[in-house]
Amino acid sequence: QVGLSYQLIAGERRWRASQLAGLETVPVIVKETTPQQMLELALVENIQRADLNPLEEARAYAQLMEEFGLTQEAVAERVSKSRTAVANTVRLLNLNDETKAALASGTITEGHARALLSLKSDRDQLRALATIIEKSLTVRQTEALVKQMLSGDQPAKPKRPPLTPHDKAMLEKFESRLGTRVELSRAEEETGKLTIHFYSEEELQAIFNAILGNDAQL
């Protein structure tokens, strides 16, 4: 009560609807509150609106916890939801900005967004988000995509070309001349790698001398 009048804390939409309906009296609850309690009640009323998007709801829950020191259990009790539902909604604030924008605009659903929360890096979230939008993935398909990304499944790398008989003959010559193990691996476009193994400083020097011959003097 403020003077001879009363201040409306919650229920503004219902009050306006009753005016449009021409009602002269409506049932109300009159209670004394502190300024902090007024803010809390107004915020809870706002959360219970049907037109809030998931991010707006998440921010409101976070505000209740940060400004009024409420636990998730206390918030859940005030908004008549389970603690798990409140916790899952608040977690949406951990998404990167671009993913949050897609959720706020309705480009993706809350189900898509929750699946993306399993991807901890912004880079992975954005890659998955692009795939969701490009291919119009369902929530179930998004969950499968995230699972695949977390398992590290990648397209198989092309196998290296096998060594030819000529390659094997060269290896035998190398090993015979150098007196040590030599490996040859082929890549694409006639490139590859030749690896010469040594097992002591003396063996390294011997290989050096065998390759450079008269130019081996340092």
**Residue range 5-63, pLDDT digits in tens:** 777 777 777 778 888 888 888 888 887 777 767 777 777 777 766 567 889 889 988 98
pLDDT greater at residue 188 or residue 60: 60
Cα separation, 144 vs 185, in Å, equals: 37
Residue 193 has pLDDT above 70, yes or no: yes
Given 12, 67, 98, 183, which residue is catalytic?
A: 12
- Tell me, yes or no, if 98 is annotated catalytic: no
Domains 1-93 and 95-154 share a fold: yes
Confidence of residue 109 (pLDDT cuts 50, 70, 90): very high
Mean pLDDT of 158-167: 81
pLDDT exceeds 70 at position 76 = yes
Predicted TM-score of the model (pTM): 0.55
Q: Which CATH number fits domain 95-154: 1.25.40.80, 2.40.50.140, 3.40.50.1010, 1.10.10.2830?
A: 1.10.10.2830
Pick the CATH number of 1-93 from 1.10.10.2830, 3.40.50.10420, 3.40.50.970, 2.40.30.170: 1.10.10.2830
Domain boundaries, the chain: 1-93, 95-154, 165-216
